[in-house]
Amino acid sequence: MAGEVMDNRGRGEARSSLPSVHPEGRKYALICLGLSLIAALLAWETLAWPLAFLSLCILAFFRDPERVVPRGDALILSPADGTVTQISEVEPPLELRGEEGGLGHEPVTRISIYLSIFDVHINRSPCAGTVGTMSYVPGKFVNAELDKSSEENERQHIIIMRSDGVAVGMTQIAGLVARRIVPFVKPGDIVAAGQRVGLIRFGSRVDLYLPQGTSPQVLMGQRVIAGETVLGRLGETVELEGLQQ
């Protein structure tokens, strides 16, 4: 019907609804809920209620809302929900350089996004393309807000090769509480912009490496949304305040 407000998939009438929960989190919520019921049956109310509350917190942490992905071949989207904590010119990590199909050795702009435990932790592809190399690196679990976490923490590097041959790199970094990075894709998979590519459990950081000739479209301290916020535009070289050298 003309004038009808549709949902973000173009169906029916728009209405509010709770986001779905990713299967990775359902099992943990069910375990906590089961322990809560056992504690309740044993009349251990001081344990039953905290466990029931914890199960709700787990469901909230693993929530997986739908996103409206902006269209545009030149757009580089945010791979994570969170706060932009760093915008800096750096040499790409060794795992993302590659002789072919990598970022190369020249400095590129890195945008770091910090995810608190209250943010959605499903990570999404910053652009459409083919998953290139994926490199898992075991490491420490220092505070993900610190710059050294990019080199010392447990992390997973991913290259997305666009159809025009431009490589976009992202790194999932575990934090103080996060203890596992869970990938949803593998090398050779074809992904759409904004498609889910993995998650990091319980507080973390995601670094996005913009291709050369791309300027950041966000500022330090800005809140971003995975699959929706535009972090960069290919072919634009406008300098923004907040860039760290």
Identity (one letter) of the amino acid at 135? Answer: S
Taking a C-beta distance cutoff of 8 angstroms, is the pair 106, 212 a contact? yes
Query: Is 124 strand, coil or helix?
Result: strand
* Residue that the structure tokens 């998953």 belong to: 131
Low-confidence ranges of the chain (pLDDT < 50): 1, 6, 14, 144, 149, 178, 238, 240-245
Burial class (CB in 10 A: 0-12, 13-18, 19+), 32: buried
- pLDDT of 140 reads 59
What pLDDT, on a 0 to 100 scale, did the predictor assign at position 181? Answer: 85
The pLDDT of residue 20: 83
Cα separation, 49 vs 108, in Å, equals 50
Structure-block tokens of residue 223: 């809140």
Q: Could you identify the residue written with the tokens 């679990």?
A: 141
Q: What is the pLDDT of residue 179?
A: 57
pLDDT for res 12: 55
pLDDT in tens, 113-154: 999 888 998 999 999 999 999 998 886 555 545 555 455 678
Q: What is the pLDDT of residue 113?
A: 95
pTM score, two decimals? 0.79
Question: Is-catalytic flag, 125?
Answer: no
**pLDDT value, residue 144:** 47
Using CA of residue 45, residue 46, residue 47, residue 51, what is the dihedral sign?
positive
Q: What is the pLDDT of residue 16?
A: 54
User: 164 CB contacts (<8 Å, ≥6 apart)?
Assistant: 73
Q: C-alpha distances in angstroms, 5 versus 2, 8, 65, 112?
A: 9, 10, 19, 36
- Which of these is catalytic: 36, 125, 149, 204? 204
